[in-house]
C-alpha cells in the first residue's frame, strides 16, 4: 500500500517555506526568493519523476513526456489530471488545471490582475495577496521543470493565474 | 491512564482527512532542508528555522485537529500528551507515537516514534553534523501546545539519523497559562 500523510502536512511545509524565503531571508529581494523556491520545487520534481518513471519505457517525443506530466504525474500529486493541454507545435505547451489544489484556499480581490509568475520578475504586483500567490506558484513551476528535466527535456516553466482557482502552466521547451 | 475523551479513533481520524502520497511530503521537506543548508550555511541557523517553521505550522494544525477530532478538554498535561501521541500524530502523519519516561511531577515526558515518514530515503552526510533534521516536528508540538495554553520546551533525545534505535523527543511543560475569561470590569 502506498504510504500517505495528511495533505495539511504538505500544505504546511510548502507555505512555511515560501513564507520563510519571502519574509525572513530575502524580504527585500523577491527575485532571489523566487529562484530558491523554484529550485526546491525543481529538486522535488526531478526526484519524483525519476521514481514514477522507473518501470516505463523511454518517452518517444516531447508530447509523450508532457502527457505523462498531465496524467500520471499530476494524478500522483493532486489526485486529478490536468484539464486542458494546448500546444503551438513549436515547443510551447499550456497545461491548465481548472481547479489547482494549492490555490483553492487562496482568495484575491475581484479585479485580480494577471500575474506571470516567472517571466516578469520586475512587473509591479498589485497587492500582497497576489504577490504571495505568485510566490506560491514558483514551487509547482519548479516541480514541472524538474520532472521534465529528469526526462531529458530542458525547458522554462511559468504560471498564469488570471482565472483563479484555475491555473495555467506554460512550458517552453529549449531547443 | 484516564480514558481518552476523543470519540474518534486515530484510524478513523486519519481516514477522514484529505491525504497525499507521503513521497511528496518527504521529498519536499528534504529539498527544503537541503536548500536551507545551502543558503544559511550555519547548521544552527537551519535548526532554528526548521523549528520556527514547525512552530508556525503547529499553531495552524491544532485548529484543524480540534475541529476534526471532537476531542474535548483534556484534564491535564498527561492526557494532552496521550491525545497528541495517539490521535495527533496519527491524523497528520499516519503513525502513532508512544508516550513514556514521565518524570515524578508529571510535567515532562517523551514521545517515541519508531516509524517516521519525514525521514524515508534520508541519510545525513558527515558534513551535516549537528543538524536536527526533524526539528520541524518538535516545532509543531511546541506551536500546537502553545495554542492550548501550554508553554513547552521540546528537545530531541534520540535520532535514528544519528544511529539511535528510535526517534525520541522530550517535551517539558514550562507553564500552563490559565485561560482568561472575559470577566466584567466590576467583578
Number of domains in chain A: 1
Top residue of A13, A139, A143 to mutate, by most chain B CBs within 10 Å, is A13
Of B18, B23, B91, the CB nearest to A48: B23
State the residue for C-alpha cell 493532486: A78
Contacts of A14 in chain B (CB under 8 A): 28
Task: Determine the Cα–Cα distance for residues A140 and A103; give it in Å rounded to an integer.
Answer: 11
3-state class (DSSP) for residue A80: coil
The CA-atom distances, in angstroms, between B77 and each of B41, B67, B149 are 38, 20, 11
Q: Would residue B68 count as lying in a domain?
A: yes
Contact A77 B39 (CB under 8 A): no
Q: Would residue B34 count as lying in a domain?
A: no
Domain hosting residue B167, numbered range: 42-176
Residues of B in CB contact (< 8 Å) with A are: 14, 17-25, 27-29, 31-32, 34-35, 39-40, 49, 52-53, 56-57, 60-61, 64, 91-94, 117, 120, 136
Q: Would residue B22 count as lying in a domain?
A: no
Q: Would residue B172 count as lying in a domain?
A: yes
**Contact (CB, 8 A) for B135 and B118:** no
Domain hosting residue A33, numbered range: 7-111+123-173
Q: Would residue B127 count as lying in a domain?
A: yes
DSSP string, B120-150: TT----GGGTT--TTHHHHHHHHHHHHHTTE
Cell of B87: 490521535
Contact B94 A5 (CB under 8 A): yes
Q: What is the CATH number of the domain that holds A28?
A: 3.30.1380.20
Tens of pLDDT along chain B (187 residues) come to 555 554 578 899 999 999 998 999 999 999 999 999 999 989 999 999 999 999 999 999 999 999 998 888 888 899 999 999 999 999 999 999 999 999 999 999 999 998 999 998 888 888 888 899 999 999 999 999 999 999 999 999 999 998 899 999 999 999 887 767 666 666 5
Number of domains in chain B: 1
Q: Would residue A1 count as lying in a domain?
A: no
Q: What is the CATH number of the domain that holds B73?
A: 3.30.1380.20
Top residue of B17, B26, B31 to mutate, by most chain A CBs within 10 Å, is B31
Tens of pLDDT along chain A (175 residues) come to 688 999 999 999 999 999 999 888 888 888 899 999 999 999 999 999 999 998 888 888 999 999 999 999 999 898 899 999 999 999 999 999 998 888 876 655 444 444 444 444 444 444 566 777 788 899 999 999 999 999 999 999 999 888 777 899 999 998 7
Q: Would residue A65 count as lying in a domain?
A: yes
How many other C-beta atoms can be found within 10 angstroms of the C-beta atom of residue B3? 7
Q: Which residue from A minimizes the CA distance to B51?
A: A16
Q: Would residue A116 count as lying in a domain?
A: no
Of B21, B29, B61, the CB nearest to A4: B21
3-state class (DSSP) for residue B49: helix
The CA-atom distances, in angstroms, between A36 and each of A25, A123, A129, B123, B174 are 10, 19, 20, 22, 37
Cβ of A8 under 8 Å from any chain B Cβ? yes
Q: Would residue A141 count as lying in a domain?
A: yes
Q: Would residue B1 count as lying in a domain?
A: no
- Quick: pLDDT tens for B134-178: 999 999 999 999 999 999 999 999 999 988 999 999 999 998 877
Task: Determine the Cα–Cα distance for residues B112 and B100; give it in Å rounded to an integer.
Answer: 7
3-state class (DSSP) for residue A7: helix
Of B32, B52, B93, the CB nearest to A9: B93
Q: Would residue A28 count as lying in a domain?
A: yes
Q: Would residue B121 count as lying in a domain?
A: yes
Task: Determine the Cα–Cα distance for residues A98 and B168; give it in Å rounded to an integer.
Answer: 43
Q: Would residue B20 count as lying in a domain?
A: no
The CA-atom distances, in angstroms, between A115 and each of A59, A119, B17, B21, B172 are 33, 9, 32, 30, 47
Contact B64 A8 (CB under 8 A): yes
**pTM, 2 dp:** 0.87
Amino acid at each position: 500500500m502506498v504510504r500517505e500523510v495528511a495533505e495539511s502536512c504538505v500544505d504546511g511545509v510548502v507555505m512555511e517555506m515560501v513564507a520563510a524565503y519571502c519574509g525572513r531571508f530575502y524580504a527585500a529581494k523577491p527575485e532571489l526568493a523566487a529562484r530558491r523556491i523554484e529550485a526546491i520545487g525543481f529538486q522535488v520534481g526531478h526526484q519524483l519523476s525519476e521514481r514514477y518513471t522507473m518501470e516505463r519505457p523511454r518517452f518517444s517525443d516531447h508530447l509523450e513526456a508532457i502527457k505523462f506530466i498531465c496524467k500520471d504525474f499530476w494524478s500522483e500529486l493532486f489526485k486529478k489530471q490536468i484539464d486542458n493541454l494546448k500546444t503551438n507545435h513549436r515547443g510551447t505547451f499550456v497545461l491548465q488545471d481548472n481547479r489547482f489544489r494549492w490555490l483553492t484556499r487562496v482568495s484575491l480581490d475581484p479585479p485580480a490582475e494577471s500575474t506571470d509568475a516567472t517571466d516578469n520578475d520586475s512587473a509591479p504586483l498589485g497587492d500582497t495577496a497576489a504577490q504571495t500567490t505568485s510566490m506560491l506558484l514558483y514551487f509547482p513551476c519548479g516541480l514541472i521543470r524538474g520532472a521534465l528535466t529528469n526526462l531529458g527535456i530542458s525547458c522554462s516553466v511559468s504560471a498564469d493565474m488570471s482565472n483563479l482557482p484555475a491555473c495555467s502552466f506554460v512550458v517552453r521547451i529549449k531547443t | 491512564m484516564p480514558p481518552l475523551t476523543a470519540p474518534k479513533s486515530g484510524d478513523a481520524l486519519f481516514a477522514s482527512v484529505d491525504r497525499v502520497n507521503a513521497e511528496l511530503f518527504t521529498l519536499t521537506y528534504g529539498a527544503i532542508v537541503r536548500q536551507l543548508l545551502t543558503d544559511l550555511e550555519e547548521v544552527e541557523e537551519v535548526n532554528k528555522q526548521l523549528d520556527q517553521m514547525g512552530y508556525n505550522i503547529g499553531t495552524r494544525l491544532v485548529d484543524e485537529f480540534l475541529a476534526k477530532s471532537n476531542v474535548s478538554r483534556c484534564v491535564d498535561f498527561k492526557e494532552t500528551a496521550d491525545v497528541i501521541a495517539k490521535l495527533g500524530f496519527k491524523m497528520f502523519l499516519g503513525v502513532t507515537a508512544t508516550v513514556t519516561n514521565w518524570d515524578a511531577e508529571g510535567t515532562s515526558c517523551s514521545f517515541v516514534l519508531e516509524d517516521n515518514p519525514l525521514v524515508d530515503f534520508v541519510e545525513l552526510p558527515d558534513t551535516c553534523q549537528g543538524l536536527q533534521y526533524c526539528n520541524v516536528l518538535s516545532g509543531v508540538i511546541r506551536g500546537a501546545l502553545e495554542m492550548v495554553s501550554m508553554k513547552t520546551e521540546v528537545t530531541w533525545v534520540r535520532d535514528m539519523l544519528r544511529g539511535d534505535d528510535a526517534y525520541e523527543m522530550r517535551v517539558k511543560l514550562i507553564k500552563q497559562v490559565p485561560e482568561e475569561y472575559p470577566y466584567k470590569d466590576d467583578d
